[in-house]
Amino acid sequence: LYVYTAYFANDTGADGEGRWKVLEERGLWQPQWGVTDNEGEDTPKESGDIAGNPGTQSNDPGRFGVTSSGFYKFTFDVSGKKYTTTPYDASGAPDFTSMSIQGSSTETIAMTQSSFDSHIWNITSTRLVPGDLQFLTNTGAAWGGSTEFSGVATEGGTIPVVVEDDYEVWFNDLTGHYIMIPLNL
């Protein structure tokens, strides 16, 4: 089960705007996942069945989509072969001006804020050693979670780092979701 809450753009309503597919492997077009409709006949819907090439069919699936720009929660259930895309109210969310990681696993390292969505932060590669880390905001709040590699952070606590490696680190300050992807394992 995958959940992604963020800003999706569709300013004109054109067929190519506000559309996407899910790729299993970064940089590879196959396997890809989308909706059961054919591409071009794939009117954006809030929920439905997912289809994959080569998972459920030999031709490419249609695209997920939104009808207007805004924040949405996209849920992708691989085992149940279902998806939902629902509006998300981000109006009360804080707008942090900086974010970093810190802890016994690393020195303090600044994260990069997405130019597309100010609530998404990342580090493309950093060395982490066994220990712990937190996400530190410009307001001084520190966010941590109880699970290694991925989970949901809340204010306070630390995230365990159990394997030394170079990691790609992502943090969503809307929902607290984080993922730390080992790059060499």
Q: Which helix (H) or strand (E) holds 170?
A: strand 165-172
**E-state strands within 28-105:** 32-35, 47-53, 64-65, 70-77, 82-87, 99-103
pLDDT of 161 reads: 98
| Cβ-proximal residues to 161 (8 Å cutoff; 6+ apart), any chain | 103, 105, 128, 129, 130, 131, 132, 133, 148, 180
Q: Which helix (H) or strand (E) holds 60?
A: none
Could you give the CA distance from residue 44 to residue 32 in angstroms, rounded to a whole number?
18
With a cut of 90, say whether residue 13 has pLDDT above it: no
Range in 33-42, 98-107, 151-160 with the lowest mean pLDDT: 33-42
**Rounded mean pLDDT, 81-87:** 97
With a cut of 90, say whether residue 59 has pLDDT above it: no
Q: For residue 111, which of 121, 102, 96 has the smallest C-alpha distance?
A: 121
Could you give the CA distance from residue 132 to residue 101 in angstroms, rounded to a whole number?
10
Q: Would you place residue 57 in the very low, low, confident or very high pLDDT band (cuts 50, 70, 90)?
A: confident
Q: What is the pTM of this model?
A: 0.89
